[in-house]
Every structure is written in C-alpha cells, then in structure tokens.
Chains A and B, each alone.
Chain A
C-alpha cells in the first residue's frame, strides 16, 4: 500500500525525493532534499492522506557530510500506512519547518534544535526544549562528551509580572 505512496511521491517530485527503499521490517522509506521537505510533506498530507506526524527525530552521523539527518515518521490514519522520510542536513544548514503542515511537529523540531543544534527556519517558537537557554552545546551530538559538565549560570532576572516575585523592597 504505502509502497505506492513512496512511488507516487518519487514520481511527483523526481528531483526532491531520491533513493526510495524498503527498510528493515518492510518500512517504506525515502530520502528527501532538505529544501523541498515542506513541499513534499504538504503533498503527502493533502493528497496522499498522511495526516499525522507521530515522530520526528534527528541523528548525528559524525564524520559524514552532510552531518545530520532528520527523520520524519509519518502515518496516515485513513490508509493505515506509514512512511519514513529522511532528510540530510549539513552542519549549520537550516531545516525548513514542517510545523505549518502538522502542528505536532512543533516540539519535535524544537527537540532537534535543542539536542542537535539543527536550526529550523520558519518555526513559530524555536527555543530549547529539554535543556535550558544557557546550556552550552548540544548534548546528543556525538562530539558532546558523555561526562561533560556545564558551566554554572547566573540566576535569571525575574521580569516584572503582575504581583510576581520581584525585588525584596516591593511591598
């Protein structure tokens, strides 16, 4: 079933979708060029019924170029089919956000930014997700040491919010 999807996709975007293959356990996978990912995803959602993006993650293939890979695991509730799209992203290259296609991709993209330092362009709220803003480095990169220590950061200044914590002198 979803083999058709990959084929249809490859046919429709001959230069954006390449190397389709059947992965371990019969998963249907294909590589997509980074610049065209939003376009491909939109087509997948609107025309081929892939209305859910259950999981988006990234992998750091240190030593390869491009270094990173963002993996989109997509699901169609109507056809009960899955596909996996893999996008190669070089270091420092921007990944277009697919949050406009699936809102669920929002935090997954923040996760990729936080853990791998992949900048996502067009993301509505690109902040660190699991670590804090002052965190140095990106922990899931392969060159981030396992026993790495983070520097101590000064306490954040609390902005004046209504009756929120503030200087001790306030009433």
Chain B
C-alpha cells in the first residue's frame, strides 16, 4: 500500500490505527429551517453520534399563519380559501372535509351529483398527493427521473382540475351544500385519458422502484414503527396502514358515496418506509378505480342544495331579483347561519384523518375551528422512528410521512 505521492511507508502500526474505531464526538446538527430536504420550513436539531442519529428534536411553526384565528373572524364560507392552503397539494380534500363538517352541524344533505363530484375531485387530488410523495421518495434517494415522471402525471391531473376549478393548487371547489361548478363538457373523456396516462406513469414508477434493489435496501427496515406504537401516537392514513392496521375512514365510517364504490384498502406489515411507499403506489391504483366507478355511477342533477340559507342563489336571480340579491347579501355580508353546537367531522385525506372540530354559536362566523392535520402525529413520532438510523436515512423517513407544513403549522 505504498503511496505514490510522498513515498511514506505505511508500517503495521498505521494499519491498526486505520482499523481502530473512530473516536466520535456527540454532535448537534441544525437541519433547517431552510434545508432543501425539509420540504417547507421545519427545523431539526439532530444529535449525532458519528452518522447515527441519537436524538431528534423538531421545531415547527415557521409556517404558522393563524389559520384558526383567521377562520374565527371570517364567515363560514370565507373559510374555504383558507382550507385550500392547508395541504396545498390536495386542496379539494380539505375543502370537502371542511364542507362536510359544516354540513354535519347544519344537518344538511347534499345532492347526489355533488357527492360524486366531491369524491371524484378528492380522489384525483389524492392521486396528485401520492404522486408527489412517490416521486419525492425517489428524489430523496437521488433518483431524479422519478420525480420528473411523477410531476408530469401530477400536472396532467392538475390540468383537468384547473379546467374544473380554475386553479391548479388553490381549488376552492367545495361549497357548503354542494360544489362550486359542474363538470365542463367533455371533461370525463379527457379525465379518463389523463387517468390512462397517469396509470402508465404509475406503473413505470412502480416497475422502476418497487423491485429496485438499491431503492428497497435504502428503505426497508428504515424508520419502522410497530402497529401498537403507531396507534398510540395517533397515526392514520397510509402510515398507519403500513404497520398492518387497516383503518381507513372511507371504509370504517363511509361518507359521501364511498360505501357504493368497490375499492380495496392496501395494508402493509412492517411499518417501515418501504411499506409506506408501497401503500401509496397501491392507493394510486385504488383511487383510479374509484374515479372510474364514479364516472359510471354519476347521473346529471343538481350540484348544490337549493336552499337560500346555505347556498348562494344563481347569479341571474342575484342580479335580477330582489329576493336573490337579499339572500346573496345576507350570506356574503353576515355569513350563513350555522346552528349553534359543536361537532367533530373527519375524512380520509391523502395522509390520513383530516378532522375539523367546529363550534358554532349560531352566528355567521365560526366560534372555533379546530384542525386535525393528518401528518401531525407522524411528525410527533419522527424522533422515535429515526432513532438509531443514519443521518442519510432521516431524509427519506421524513419524506415518507409526507409532512405538509401548511396544514400542521396552520
């Protein structure tokens, strides 16, 4: 082992030195708040022993913007745009979750078509959300191609949703008592084509990653959490199902039209990052199934309730009749009157249970809106999941819980 540069001979004692364990010193690493791997702004204080994570402390709140306080000072309807900004990758699911919560308080039933439209758009946004994560999972491990594939597919879906809502991200699509717009003409055919393309991309990603040795080795057994622990921490969604617990709100307490639709809930076994990845890939397939079934079952009809207490009158009535303008005025200026009471409503968002705890005092503005962000418990458990892992594993584990600062930090 002669060194060609300076010709210093390496004696046997030097070899021993090389083989000796490295004396490591405890090191605290500040990761974030502005780190490329922490999507959004989150600060980790990582305590390292060499490259092993011995402890992790999470500092959040950099994206706190007073969601609940803002909602308390706006009318029930004005809350919708705020919910867009919770999980901004799948905003319609937030819209729908909030609308369902208010409708629970109002004891309001929405028209059939609106229910289907809500499911269709929600599941399309679930596809977007999962594509983002699946793509990013590759990205975290250096597979840049994957994220580009995924973004292509995601933008196709967003294109369809843009035709429907007018915006890629901030959809503001649901309304109390229904949805904002009906499908444009020929939209279903376009959407089906999009779904075909998304399925191709999905299968390609699946083929590239799921049986990829490097990929699997990096994720298997990393960031694992047991089923009991996951439940104790309050995990929901794909992260919970990856541990083997089959809880899915769509199956456990079906809402909208999920009870009329045939779909499966994938369940994992190891609760590690690889299982969480697989859950999402499989859910992409299931969402595809759900959307296609909805297209078959949907019938033309009303998309919002015809009740001036909750839904705005059609615009011709507003501009042309005093009755319409009065109803419009009262709803916009004072807000719809939600009966006094409190309710907790929850839906299955892309990352788990999205809950809204609402308190109404009977007025036009919410008294309290409590937001249960799906990723919140997963983030709490991150220190446990990463303890003993390598620093390089922190990034994929953190990615696999799909932390969305917009909703956790409100």
A and B touch in the complex (CB under 8 A): yes
Complex contact A55–B68 (CB within 8 A): no
Contact in complex: B380, A139 (CB < 8 Å): no
- Report the bound CA distance from A140 to B367 in whole Å: 11
- Chain B's closest residue to A159 (CB) is B28
Binds A, one of B259-267, B369-377, B395-403: B369-377
Provide the residues of chain A in CB contact with B368, threshold 8 Å.
59-60
In contact, B345 and A25 (Cβ under 8 angstroms): yes
B231 touches A24 (CB 8 A): no
How many residues of B are counted as interface, with CB atoms below 8 angstroms from the partner's CB atoms? 49
Instruction: Find out whether the CB atom of A162 lies under 8 angstroms from the CB atom of B104.
Output: no
Pairwise interchain contact A23-B409, C-beta atoms closer than 8 A: no
B residues 1-46 touching A (CB-CB < 8 Å): 25-28, 30
B-chain residues with CB within 8 Å of residue A107 when the two chains form the complex: 376-377, 379-380
Give Cα A128–Cα B60 distance, bound, in whole angstroms: 10
CA distance A166 to B341 in the complex (A): 53
Q: Is the CB of B232 within 8 A of A104?
A: yes
Q: Is B61 an interface residue (CB 8 A)?
A: yes
Question: When A24-B343, A25-B104, A52-B232 are in contact, do A57 and B357 touch as well, CB less than 8 Å?
Answer: yes
In the assembled complex, how far is the CB of residue A140 from the closest CB belonging to chain B, in whole angstroms? 6
Per-residue interface assignment for chain B, residues 237 to 276, with 1 indicating a CB less than 8 Å from any chain A CB and 0 otherwise: 0000000010100001100000000000000000000000
Question: Can you name the residue of chain B whose Cβ is closest to the Cβ of A142?
Answer: B72
Chain A interface residue bracket vs B: 35 or more
Tell me the minimal C-beta distance from B35 to chain A in angstroms: 15
- Please report the C-alpha to C-alpha distance between residue A162 and residue B303 in the assembled complex, in whole angstroms: 61
Q: Are B234 and A104 in contact (CB under 8 A)?
A: yes
Q: Are B61 and A129 in contact (CB under 8 A)?
A: yes
Q: Does A84 count as interface, using CB distance less than 8 angstroms?
A: yes
Over the window 206-238 of chain B, the binary record of Cβ atoms lying under 8 Å from chain A Cβ atoms (1 yes, 0 no) is 000000000000000000000011011111100
Q: Are A162 and B28 in contact (CB under 8 A)?
A: yes
Query: Of residues B27, B233, B367, B410, which shows the largest number of chain A Cβ atoms within 10 Å of its Cβ?
Result: B233
| Residues of chain B within 8 A of A24, CB atoms compared | 104-105, 107, 341-343
- The answer to whether A53 has its CB under 8 Å from any CB of chain B is yes
- Taking CB as reference atom, which chain A residue is nearest B228? A51
User: Is there a chain B Cβ closer than 8 Å to A152's Cβ?
Assistant: no
Question: What are the interface flags for A77-106 relative to B under an 8 Å C-beta threshold, 1 for contact and 0 otherwise?
Answer: 100100010000000000000000011111
B26→A162 contact, CB < 8 A: yes
Asked if B145 is at the interface (CB within 8 A of a chain A CB), the reply is no
Give Cα A60 to B368, complex, Å: 8
| B158 within 8 A of partner (CB) | no
Separation of A144 and B73 alpha carbons in the complex (Å): 12
Whether A106 pairs with B343 at a CB distance below 8 angstroms is no
In the complex the two chains form, is A140's CB within 8 Å of B68's CB? Answer: yes
Measured between C-beta atoms, what is the minimum distance from B192 to chain A in Å? 34
Q: Are B69 and A140 in contact (CB under 8 A)?
A: yes
Chain A residues near B410: list those with CB within 8 A: 130
Q: Given A53-B234, A55-B344, A162-B27, are A132 and B247 also a contact pair (CB < 8 Å)?
A: no
A163 to B48, CA, bound (A): 13
Q: For the complex formed, measure the closest distance between the CB of A112 and the CB atoms of chain B, giving whole angstroms.
A: 10
Q: In whole angstroms, how far apart are the Cα atoms of A77 and B355 in the complex?
A: 16
Instruction: Give the interface centre of B105, B379, B380 by most chain A CB atoms within 10 Å.
Output: B380
- Asked whether B353 is an interface residue with its Cβ less than 8 Å from the other chain, the reply is yes
A106–B380 CB distance below 8 A: yes
CB distance from A110 to the nearest CB of B (A): 10
A132 to chain B, nearest CB (A): 7
| B186 touches A (CB below 8 Å) | no
- In the assembled complex, the CB of B383 is this many whole angstroms from the nearest CB of chain A, namely 11
B342 & A52 in contact (Cβ 8 Å cutoff): no
Q: Across the interface, which residues of B come within 8 angstroms of A84, CB to CB?
A: 344
Q: Knowing that A140-B72, A162-B28 are A-B contacts, what are 17 other residue pairs whose CB atoms are under 8 Å apart, sorted by A's residue number?
A: A24-B104, A24-B342, A52-B232, A55-B344, A57-B370, A59-B342, A59-B370, A71-B357, A73-B344, A73-B357, A80-B253, A129-B60, A129-B61, A130-B61, A131-B64, A140-B69, A146-B73
Interface residues of chain B, those whose CB is within 8 Å of chain A, are 25-28, 30, 60-61, 64, 66, 68-69, 72-73, 104-105, 107, 228-229, 231-236, 245, 247, 252-253, 341-346, 353, 355, 357, 359, 367-368, 370, 372, 376-377, 379-381, 409-410
**Complex A-B, nearest 10 residue pairs according to Cβ-Cβ distance, in ascending order:** A104-B234, A57-B370, A130-B61, A55-B372, A130-B64, A104-B233, A24-B343, A161-B28, A25-B104, A59-B368
Residues on A close to B: CB < 8 A?
23-25, 27, 51-55, 57, 59-60, 71, 73, 77, 80, 84, 102-108, 115, 128-132, 139-140, 144, 146, 161-164
5 A–B pairs (Cβ distance < 8 Å), ordered by A: A54-B234, A129-B60, A130-B61, A139-B66, A162-B25
